[in-house]
A = this chain, B = another copy of it.
């Protein structure tokens, strides 16, 4: 007995950040977030439930992963197995497609693709909203990768009403330039960073409050196709997130010297009349939101300081697709 499913999901970059959980187990966030799905980064995953397997096997980029690495995947698949009373183990094959070994977090596209593949393999056949609830329980940011374009993850107050909603298809002149400052694994995981911030930063409550306001304003800016406004809100939101970390004890600093360099270049580009805005997640890499039609100019400027392979241009990407 066996059943299979295969799906693709794209990465997303938050413009209004997800930073802090109100429920660690269910991945319920402290506040809603909003992202842009990207076309340049995606994950393809196949799930096969097979009665002949003695345990779950997880291959990432054609490499068999350790039992420790597989545990998280197994736990996630259990959500589907329990729901459909599936007793079989699974073979999971996942491939991350990124232009270079970017070191960008792949947990969003990874868990979204896994959820979609398991959705088919299990025969559960959930709709997208339901699927986003499942993806959320693998990784918070995966919630948003179910949809393409601009996507809001509504915080909700229970597992059933914390899901993603598409906001705008982003089929206008919008894109991102991603600068890979460091490939190395970060010293403090997002999970740990969030927890320490929520527990110790005196700025955390004010962040949640101001982020709610940012979300309302950025949605209006998106619907108005107002890049300047959208970008300014995203940049400020990202800095406020990092401010909450600066306030933690001990403080959390993800900035590297090159992070600041990119921020300075972005500022210079704006002075030159090119609207572009930076956003940083829990790591030193910088994502620049801009007009897709101007992304080449921005990349050229960045190449004065960074290597070609460190700079990746991406347009808006689609939601999950079944393969």
Binding site for B on A (CB under 8 A): 202-203, 205-207, 209-210, 232, 235-236, 239-240, 242-244, 246-247, 249-251, 253, 255-261, 263-264
Can you name 11 A-B pairs with beta carbons within 8 Å?
Answer: A203-B207, A205-B206, A232-B250, A239-B253, A242-B246, A243-B243, A243-B246, A255-B255, A257-B257, A257-B258, A257-B260
A253 cross-chain contacts in B, Cβ below 8 A: 239, 260, 263
User: Are B261 and A257 within 8 A (Cβ)?
Assistant: yes
A247 cross-chain contacts in B, Cβ below 8 A: 203, 206, 210, 239-240, 243
Q: Which residue of B lies closest to A206 (CB)?
A: B202
CA distance A259 to B232 in the complex (A): 24
Beyond contacts A202-B209, A236-B250: 9 other A-B pairs, Cβ-Cβ < 8 A, are A202-B203, A202-B210, A203-B207, A203-B247, A236-B251, A240-B246, A243-B243, A257-B261, A257-B264
Most buried by B among A232, A240, A261: A240
CA distance A261 to B244 in the complex (A): 21
A251 cross-chain contacts in B, Cβ below 8 A: 235-236, 239
User: Are B246 and A239 within 8 A (Cβ)?
Assistant: yes
A203 cross-chain contacts in B, Cβ below 8 A: 202-203, 206-207, 240, 243, 247
A258 cross-chain contacts in B, Cβ below 8 A: 257
A209 cross-chain contacts in B, Cβ below 8 A: 202
A249 cross-chain contacts in B, Cβ below 8 A: 236
A256 cross-chain contacts in B, Cβ below 8 A: 260, 264
Q: How far is the CB of A306 from chain B (nearest CB, A)?
A: 13
A232 cross-chain contacts in B, Cβ below 8 A: 250
CA distance A239 to B249 in the complex (A): 10
A236 cross-chain contacts in B, Cβ below 8 A: 249-251
A205 cross-chain contacts in B, Cβ below 8 A: 206
CA distance A251 to B256 in the complex (A): 19
Q: How far is the CB of A105 from chain B (nearest CB, A)?
A: 21
